[in-house]
Structure 1
């Protein structure tokens, strides 16, 4: 059985990479084993890695048998699973080959069921590398090659770290073949083996890890779950060994000697600091040695993110495909003036399981995010600081109405159940008690609305629990969607959606006035607006809800 997956397109190239590009210039990576047709093999160190896994599995299985009178089947099953995985991994190393040509990247693998995957180089969207703890100890890296489609994306698990850097170097913008060291004239062999070189790329550091980021990212109301989750997972294997963690915890804190409220308060008092410590460790492991740099020489430049202590990860986003930036501010963070930034690049994030995400920095202060955004964007613009136009008062009236009618409607339904005897007492009044909370939130939601056109960027902002400000290049807009519910039509308002090939693919700005919407669309994309004004949406329609869509096809 053979499976062939091919992805090709005429889109502009974008690739990512960058792990270990800081190797000394000219330092050889060692000969790459290549056959007559250019096929390469994974690193032989994968065999050593699997031997370590076999030893660990055998030791775990032995402990599961001898640690108690009865076998601990959880440990035995885990050992058998680890042993089987290691053996299958050896077979995968034996049958996997990959090849990089000026036109495409190919990988073939499998024994009984053979797969041959091909992705055209101009369809490559990301080339990221990562390394787990054992892989790092053995000098290995896993290279993820993403095309924006699950079927044609694949990973090379695993390569020697220098060869992984070579693959990333080969697939960087402007590269079409391996970088080879010149032959040694003193060598007796007239045709020596090619020695790839991972040359140092010019880099400009934008941000490094800062200790001030730690409290901003680890102090959270959810920190208690950071310790509860691991303890819950640890309870099952310990129970097999005769250790009852919940009972042990009850004895340690004297659960039976106090009331339930005092016990819960004591548990939270103990668990929260432990949760903060666990969150801090996890944050340091994930973001330690963080670096955000711009690498390459214009016009082939890219933004590279490196992070991780035990498991390292390198992500490169090509500047030629960067289309903007987004700032997310959840409600609690907003009051603390904190935010998280996301880069908007075309071709990334569309496929499930894609190795590359859009998050570009940990949670940082909003003022710092605005300063760094100017360095992250290739043109140095500062669209996130643009003055946004306020939406009409009708948008506030709508949200205040929802804040009142929502709890009242729920309360009315509960009153019906109370009158029929299903619900006891005065429970139907509970939703009405939420109105003092929903009304201020409605005002916050209205104040979050805004839009602007600032130079080469359009900016939209909305959201209450999770406010998002998106700055998108005007040239990245490929279409508009205008929606009007019957209530919006009565109030002369509409929801404007921006279609793009970057980021989440669609961004909305709800409850603009009709004049604001037409001005916004016309100023952002005059060509699209010319087609849009002629669209049928401007005509009266008998439908209570209207939706109009215009794209670049309208004027092609």
Structure 2
């Protein structure tokens, strides 16, 4: 059970005594194997001393966190104490709690535990309780989010009273009534397994696949089947067939492997996905092996970002993230790859305003198009020059370089045109909308109230054609929203309309 306000400090779940030793052994498994191998080759007279230390050491170290970690709730804050020699007390005022995230690995779930991470929005540090019983973790999350609302409501009249003229004989301010019961959770999105069709078109898991191939390559030389004789015989067997057939088989095999990896990764990450609005926060739950429960306070959400990677866009898919202050990394993906209509609907529900994700953007004109083409073709030429040096150094056939160079220039031209077509901006009421991206089409929507400043930058090439980059600085998301290659007068007018009065002196000089 979670402690009631005013009660003393309590420990975490006793099952943590099983969790941490297993985690400690997993972390020390490689050093343990190396140590045991070394010991086995040395004098065995030290075994009675070394073996207990090697085996029991991680178990003891794993049990210490449960013995030294305590927490409690008061009427205004949550406190966590930890440490043996260096005592540490972490405190978070309830009205500063911005997120309460729950996570459970497979081992957590077997033991019926969850890890609680409490964010205050001040910095990246979080108060972590690992581990609580699943029911206690859910109750603590609900309690913290509910009491945050109570604390904020009670703080409001106090702040008003401090701004008034006070006298000693002034009657006490009335105490704010308790808030009404929390409204039921409002569902925004749930997993639809027809969305699995988008998994192969989202290339984010290629990193995992390449990582696995990299790990395999580290051990390839040690495999008994990997030697010169085996490789030669395998190549002779393959060359008996047509080259086209070999390419076809390899392509189909690679495609089948990618389908398995992408679909399996999608299922593992987004199993049981549910996005709801409750307690003034957006609450996301998902995960098959490791479950996640993430809360983002809506008052801190300053906008959304819809991304349509090139392959995903071909099948009508998109991804959606929120831009918020006080959360880790500032960008939280709240939807898996899904139909674009779903991403638009959920984005508009978060913004509580229709239109910014679908409205037509203001085009930046032919000068911006030339800049987009020039930028991409310059990158292609840089690669061609590097390839030419390599071709000259290794004395290779030059017609291959000509073919590759023509392909790179064509790709650069396509990338330049795509980059321009994604470019644009708009001011939809109290939201700044910026379009960008090269092959992936990205539309970023930011509340104008979340803009804390503007940066107008201009390179030498941009000065020659009268264009600038306009950056809206913010505390949310990646802390910047870029409107690229726009005319100076248009940029200044856009910034002045979004934040009236902030650029008055600059507008008068333009």
> TM-score w.r.t. structure 2 length?
0.77
CA contact (8 A) 2:202 2:312 kept: no
Number of equivalences? 461
Structure (1/2) with the larger helix percentage: 2
The equivalences for 1:206-217 within 5 A come to: 206-217=188-199
CA distance, structure 2, for counterparts of residue 256 and residue 112 of structure 1? 67
1:213 CA displacement: 1.3
CA contact (8 A) 2:305 2:321 kept: yes
The equivalences for 1:28-177 within 5 A come to: 30=1, 32=3, 38-50=8-20, 84-148=57-121, 152-172=125-145, 173-176=148-151
Match of 2:326 among 347, 358, 364: 347
CA 1:391/1:222 → structure 2, altered by over 3 Å: closer, same or farther?
closer
RMSD: 4.1
1:342 CA displacement: 0.5
> TM-score w.r.t. structure 1 length?
0.71
1:83 CA displacement: 6.1
Stretch of structure 1 that moved more, 442-451 or 222-231: 222-231
1:161 CA displacement: 1.5
Q: Deviations for 1:530-554, whole angstroms, at most 9, x for unmatched residues?
A: 25425xxx47xxxxxxxxxxxxxxx
Q: Deviations for 1:168-200, whole angstroms, at most 9, x for unmatched residues?
A: 1232131459xxxxxxxxxxxxxxxxxxxxx98
Partner SS for 2:477: coil
In structure 1, the residue matched to 2:368 is: 395
Match of 2:184 among 202, 205, 218: 202
Match of 1:457 among 431, 434, 444: 431
The equivalences for 1:344-423 within 5 A come to: 344-350=323-329, 358-377=332-351, 379-408=352-381, 411=384, 423=395
CA distance, structure 1, for counterparts of residue 224 and residue 144 of structure 2? 53
Unaligned 5+ residue runs, structure 1?
1-29, 72-78, 178-198, 351-355, 540-556
Match of 1:289 among 272, 275, 295: 272
1:131 CA displacement: 0.7
CA contact (8 A) 2:21 2:63 kept: no
In structure 2, the residue matched to 1:278 is: 261
Partner SS for 1:134: helix
CA distance, structure 1, for counterparts of residue 381 and residue 110 of structure 2? 61
In structure 1, the residue matched to 2:290 is: 311
CA 1:369/1:111 → structure 2, altered by over 3 Å: closer, same or farther?
same
CA 1:80/1:57 → structure 2, altered by over 3 Å: closer, same or farther?
farther
1:411 CA displacement: 4.8
Match of 2:459 among 485, 491, 498: 485
CA 1:428/1:133 → structure 2, altered by over 3 Å: closer, same or farther?
closer
Match of 1:269 among 233, 239, 252: 252
In structure 1, the residue matched to 2:475 is: 501
CA 1:121/1:518 → structure 2, altered by over 3 Å: closer, same or farther?
same
1:446 CA displacement: 0.9
CA distance, structure 1, for counterparts of residue 124 and residue 301 of structure 2? 24
1:388 CA displacement: 0.6
CA 1:267/1:410 → structure 2, altered by over 3 Å: closer, same or farther?
closer
Stretch of structure 1 that moved more, 410-419 or 387-396: 410-419
Partner SS for 1:174: helix
Match of 2:502 among 523, 528, 535: 528
Match of 2:311 among 328, 332, 339: 332
1:503 CA displacement: 1.0
CA contact (8 A) 2:418 2:439 kept: no
CA distance, structure 2, for counterparts of residue 54 and residue 473 of structure 1? 45
1:476 CA displacement: 1.1
CA contact (8 A) 1:482 1:496 kept: yes
Higher relative contact order (CA 8 A, sep 6+): 1
